A and B are shown apart, each in its own frame.
Chain A
Amino acid sequence: MDGFLINAIVYILAAVIFVPFAKRIGLGSILGYLIAGIVIGPFVLGFISNKGEGHDIMHNAEFGVVMMLFLIGLELEPKNLWKMKNLIISVGLTQVLITAALITSIGIFLGIDWRIALATGLSMSLSSTAIVLQSLKEKNELGSTTGKMSFGVLLMQDIAVIPILAFLPLLAITAIDLPTTGGYGILENQPNWAQTLMIFGAIGLVILLGRFGFGPLLGWVSKTKLRELFTASALLIVFGIAFLMNLVGLSPALGTFLAGVILANSPYKHALESDLDPFKGLLLGLFFMAVGATINFTLIWHEAYGILSLTLGVIILKTLVLLVIGKFKKLNLPDNLSFAIGLSQVSEFSFVTYAFALQLGVFSQSNSDMLMAVTALTMTITPLLLVLLDQFIIPKLTSTSTNKKTEIDPKIPDQNKVILIGFGHFGSTLGRFMRANGVEATILDSDPDQIDFLRKMGFNVYFGDGTRLDLLHAAGAEQAKILISAIDNTEHSLKLVQLCKEHFPKLEVMIRAKNRYDAFEMMEMGVKNIYREHLDTSIRMGEDVLKKLGFRAYTVHRLAKQFRDYDEEALKVLVKFKGNKDEYISKVKKQIELQETLLSGELMRKFSMNDHVWDSDAMKEE
């Protein structure tokens, strides 16, 4: 237990120290984690004593990548994915095949055994999903042309992992009996057709569950109103799919990505995002630290020349291949450079393929060690290169060539100008009115039954408690113009006001208040747009009463408007006295008196205090 606590403290402390520092000086969080990993690793401070431990941690933390792909899937609706199919196939497949072929032939040319060269080539053609997507997200470039192309390539590579893992055993020099380690277990002993069948069965199962299983599960769980249970269910979905994929030998990341895409249309999208995001972040951070910790500096020191030239060679080769592809896809130079250099590192999946190749006897121990060092180094160097590119090279290029960045459409689905929180009777009336006038809002509500019903009516309602910051982020509070709180609960409303004030000062907050006491609190918090829910209705009812008593409709209309304005004004006075009960009561009495005098003037047909319009009495007296 002590060991665990100390470990946890070491990792977290390293992250807390180095990541903010790295971000501050513009290196981005990934480099921060990598540096933290190197520092606590065996070659600097030695908290992680042996390489095995680092690898173990890395292996476990790889799950962050799985979660990241699930979350990315959530952002991507099936129809958008379908639109990307050309990109995935043409750009992605070309990249993998050409890169693998080039590395293999160079290897053979240098006199390395063709089997080793081919295994190396295939492994090194992959790029790191974790690093690329994380840095794209950090720069908010996932929606840009470069972002989309990078994503297409990464997706293809994730698919390519499957045939690569299937292909490696064919390269085995001696037919050794494989130690069936967990993973690709149950498929080994099956005939080919059964393997294929099981793979398709597993994918089918994921799609079916995504369509019909997860929604009801989440709905059922969310009714308990226990937030941790919802988080647990979200984790269950990701773990379950990862397990299933492992079982049939598919990439867990690919499986969860698929599930994410299917759930992209679900009402729980934003809630899932905000619940899983911290896990993903922590695991990825841990993963990057583990990569840093496994860099074998002794080996690098001894074989400095070989390893460094290999590392640079791989980066340059991958960059060149990607540059050519980018050129064909008509990327401008700055975009093309960040696309190519961004994807030029070697993937975390390569650690898996090296280990597999080692087991199979394709690689020797020294091969594997060297390649691992090269891979970790590429993962460290490319973020650095990107920083240099962004800070020094691209500004120069864009100042000379025309800046095409304006064309980029950073549109995420459901980025509306209005966020509506609470879709009960109040909120839904508001929502219908806005929609009738062509204003779509991103709607959040925490009642699963209500959501189900409204979804059937064609409203894009998402499940979630709108008073959570992460959920507000996910709903696009940073880009939105107006946030409407139509929730029934004063406490939540006040919390929401506070959150918006702190985190989204530009957002215009419009808020439903239950009564004047709520309104007072909101006024004190500086909210300008307060709507007491009963005010308009009760005055409107009063209007009708007066009309039925024989008052003229237009007169009543004006009186009602005056009364309402007066009441709002009076509230601004009263709020100053709300702390003092005696004074408050006397003020209220005074306000009521004043109000009544004002209005009774009309009743007495004098109406002289403030309204002389259409009054001919004065002229008569002349």
Chain B
Amino acid sequence: MRKILILFAHPKYEHSDANKALISAVQDLHQVQIRDLYELYPDFNVNIQEEQELLFEFDVIIWQHPLYWYSCPPLLKQWIDLVLEFGWAYGPGGNYLNGKFIFNAITSGGSPELYSHDGKNRYTLEDYLRPFEQTALLCGMKYLPYFQLGGTHKMSEIDLAQKADEYRQRLIHLRDAESISSVFPHQTLK
């Protein structure tokens, strides 16, 4: 059984039905811990030591956040900047994250179709997430395909519940599966 850590960043969680649905779908799962960054660090003063010690215990890490301007909210970036230190996460001696799995779980106002070469946003979500992917690789982690909950603006409650359950199933799979293939397509569990 793997341990899963969700690093959750939303500056206005109280207004996000999508994220509430996702969080409440997974928060009761055994071996899953949710870390609400905006609640922990309202002043952006991330406790590096504590974050590193915690990361060390977990096998799967999830960056869960809304997509703001094609990236993550600032506190998550702050977390990456501060916690993934040279000599700890990468560089000489920086091997504490080696072999861990990581991916982004994204909520976006725009529907998934917009994120394609023909769509309004002109690039795929994969393209937008390259910086995260490369960050993970530099730290010796295995970057898994993203999870997307798109089109939150127009989503019905049934769809939302279904998507949230999908998220839950993926987490259970990541927790319990014998082995995780790093190339599984993100729609596998549909």
Contact = CB atoms under 8 A, between A and B. Distances in A.
Interface of A: 552-557, 605, 613-617, 619-620, 622
Contacts of A620: 153-154
Interface residues of B, number: 17
B109 A554 contact: no
Which of B12, B14, B16, B38 has the most chain A CB atoms inside 10 A of its CB?
B12
The majority secondary structure among interface residues of chain B is helix
Interface stretch (B39-47, B88-96, B159-167, B177-185): B39-47
B11 interface: yes
Nearest to A617: B15
B152 interface: yes
Given A616-B109, A616-B153, A620-B153, A553 B11 contact: no
B154 A553 contact: no
Contact of B42 (A553, A615, A616): A553
Nearest to B18: A616
B13 interface: yes
Contact of A552 (B38, B109, B154): B38
Contacts of A622: 153
A614 B43 contact: no
Given A553-B40, A616-B109, A605 B15 contact: yes
B154 A614 contact: no
Nearest to A618: B153
Nearest to A551: B14
Interface of B: 11-16, 38-40, 42-43, 68, 75, 109, 152-154
Contacts, number: 40
Which of B15, B43, B152, B154 has the most chain A CB atoms inside 10 A of its CB?
B15
Which of A555, A605, A620 has the most chain B CB atoms inside 10 A of its CB?
A555
Contacts of B13: 552
26 contacts: A552-B12, A552-B13, A552-B39, A553-B38, A553-B39, A553-B40, A553-B42, A554-B38, A554-B39, A554-B42, A554-B75, A556-B42, A557-B42, A557-B43, A613-B11, A613-B12, A614-B15, A614-B68, A615-B12, A615-B15, A616-B15, A616-B109, A616-B153, A619-B153, A620-B153, A620-B154
A552 B68 CA distance: 19
Contacts of B75: 554
A554 B39 CA distance: 6
Contacts of A557: 42-43
A614 B11 contact: yes
B8 to A, nearest CB: 12
A616 B152 contact: yes
B109 A619 contact: yes
Nearest to A605: B15
Which of A554, A555, A556, A616 has the most chain B CB atoms inside 10 A of its CB?
A554
Contacts of A614: 11-12, 15, 68
Contacts of A556: 42
Given A556-B42, A605-B15, 8 more contacts: A552-B13, A552-B39, A553-B38, A553-B39, A553-B42, A554-B39, A554-B75, A614-B15
A540 to B, nearest CB: 11
A555 B153 contact: no
Contacts of A555: 12, 14
Contacts of B68: 614
Which of A552, A605, A619, A622 has the most chain B CB atoms inside 10 A of its CB?
A552
A232 to B, nearest CB: 54
A619 B13 CA distance: 17
Contacts of B43: 557
A619 B38 CA distance: 23
B14 A552 contact: yes
